[in-house]
A and B are shown apart, each in its own frame.
Chain A
């Protein structure tokens, strides 16, 4: 039985999400594993794809409803933080620009703004 992390990788590599979708708790668990590291290239691909898909992942069951932002933005927020921690922000410049401009949760916009600023500073240096 593939792990959720493996299923996420397959979803990106083969464009084939699991037929039953992901359980919310397992999806969050897989992101926590990536946060702890080490982050492999396939994981980076997953995170970049999660942002490209605007956090939309096929889910099964009823995901818990966060209070401060929608689940899709929460997924994007987690992906941003993990990629920032891994120093891979250059891969998601367009997503950062989009998130800073779109009417998303203030916390997510602020995070995107900070990371975009950091990326630009790094590129100038």
Chain B
């Protein structure tokens, strides 16, 4: 049978219309299609619901008139599908099953119908009721060999020859599938990821934003550019990807995991690091340099610093630094809302790094819209103090514009300006670029 014959096939009324009260009255209908069957042979990228934290493939992804969940494969994969049919009376016990649909590759022409599956021999277990084919049916051709999102619509047909030798065909219904092709196999078990695969919004976003891209750097850049489209906001108290997807945003501890997983969906591995400031007490003067890093930008998808997590009060910005305790210094009192990342092990700012072609790129999903190229090796996550001089590329290209103040307990103008967040006392805030040397630590 030619594809043209299928397109001319009269479709039974009601086929393909949604609605839970729809009855299936056709003699024989495609009933359910199961792609991710939880085994290696499926070859799928496992997709998970962040709402229920269950794998979409625990049930057939497509159930006629009831369910139509997306499916995902690494690009160029050749899927197979477990098919269930629902038969009423008066259908042939044996026939050949096929599915036709438009090509997904531009090379074939978008409107060219092709036989995606079959002809596959079928013998029904029963001529009234459900029959699940003994083996999954393989696709005849691979999926597109590039990253992308696709709409795959299949027209299912049974063909057989009657006793009198005449060829017969029966239309079994349409199935429509949201399909993602990803760049490369994922690394399983990343921070905050489901046990296998990824949460479905992440695969959908990343496959759309990175459509047609090849290089790891281009993929990560596209992901960073796409993040505002998610509507997820910075400064919401959530620290895991699933929690972020549920409540609409998160802290940097969640954002860096989300960005890692977006890249992982396309087979790109990022290194996560948490930047800690090392506090140094001076017991002679009771000063502490430094108590916190301070951000003034509102963060992604925020118009102003989040009311949930910002600190609001009077900050004392120091006009110049360093200064001697006994010399007068001008402090600019500003009542503002800012984010404060406390020094020490207990807090810090979470970032991602990409090593590509001998270069190191920093991705800050919370505060930056472009990658930052750095002249340094990937920082070791060993928690050892690292001293940053004024010429450090990390300081100049990232730290100064992103975390523009350091907060300290300092002596100035005859008094000690203490940091006590419980009492809304923010010490003195000094321009990060004015500080000659900054000690930091990196952990995962």
Show the binding face of A for B, using Cβ within 8 Å.
23-25, 28, 64-70, 73-74, 77-78, 81, 103, 105-107, 109-110
Contacts and interface: CB of A to CB of B under 8 A. Distances in A.
A106 B257 CA distance: 9
Contact of B347 (A67, A81, A103, A109): A67
B237 interface: yes
Nearest to A65: B309
Contact of B346 (A74, A103, A106): A74
B239 A106 contact: no
A78 B346 contact: yes
Contact of A66 (B192, B240, B347, B381): B347
Given A66-B342, A68-B253, A106-B272, 5 more contacts: A24-B422, A66-B347, A74-B347, A81-B345, A105-B253
Contact of B252 (A24, A68, A110): A68
B274 interface: yes
Given A78-B346, A107-B444, A69 B239 contact: yes
A48 B422 CA distance: 27
A65 B238 CA distance: 10
A105 B239 contact: yes
Interface of B: 191-192, 237, 239-240, 242, 251-253, 257, 272, 274, 308-309, 311, 339, 341-342, 345-350, 381, 421-422, 443-444
A106 B421 CA distance: 26
Given A64-B421, A78-B346, A105-B239, A69 B444 contact: no
Contact of A67 (B350, B443, B444): B350
Nearest to A78: B346
B296 to A, nearest CB: 15
A67 B381 CA distance: 18
B88 to A, nearest CB: 47
A45 B342 CA distance: 28
B257 A68 contact: no
Contacts of B192: 103, 106
A89 B30 CA distance: 58
5 closest A-B pairs (Cβ-Cβ)?
Answer: A68-B253, A106-B191, A65-B309, A25-B422, A66-B347
A13 B444 CA distance: 36
A70 B341 contact: no
Given A23-B422, A25-B422, A70 B237 contact: yes
A23 B421 CA distance: 12
Contact of A110 (B240, B242, B443): B443
B251 A68 contact: yes
A68 B191 contact: no
A2 to B, nearest CB: 20
B309 A69 contact: no
Contacts of B339: 67
B191 A67 contact: no
6 contacts: A24-B422, A65-B308, A68-B253, A70-B239, A77-B346, A106-B444
B274 to A, nearest CB: 5
Contacts of B381: 110
A4 B239 CA distance: 28
Contacts of B308: 65
Nearest to B193: A103
B252 to A, nearest CB: 5
A30 B277 CA distance: 22
Nearest to A71: B237
A13 to B, nearest CB: 27
Given A65-B237, A68-B253, A105-B239, A110 B444 contact: yes
A25 to B, nearest CB: 5
Nearest to A74: B346
Contacts of B444: 106-107, 110
A84 B73 CA distance: 44
Contacts of A67: 251-253, 339, 341, 347-350
B209 to A, nearest CB: 24
A108 to B, nearest CB: 10
**Most-contacted residue by chain B among A25, A65, A68 (CB, 10 A):** A68
Contacts of B242: 103
B251 A65 contact: yes
A105 B256 CA distance: 11
A93 to B, nearest CB: 22
A69 B272 CA distance: 14
A25 B421 CA distance: 9
B339 to A, nearest CB: 8
A101 to B, nearest CB: 10
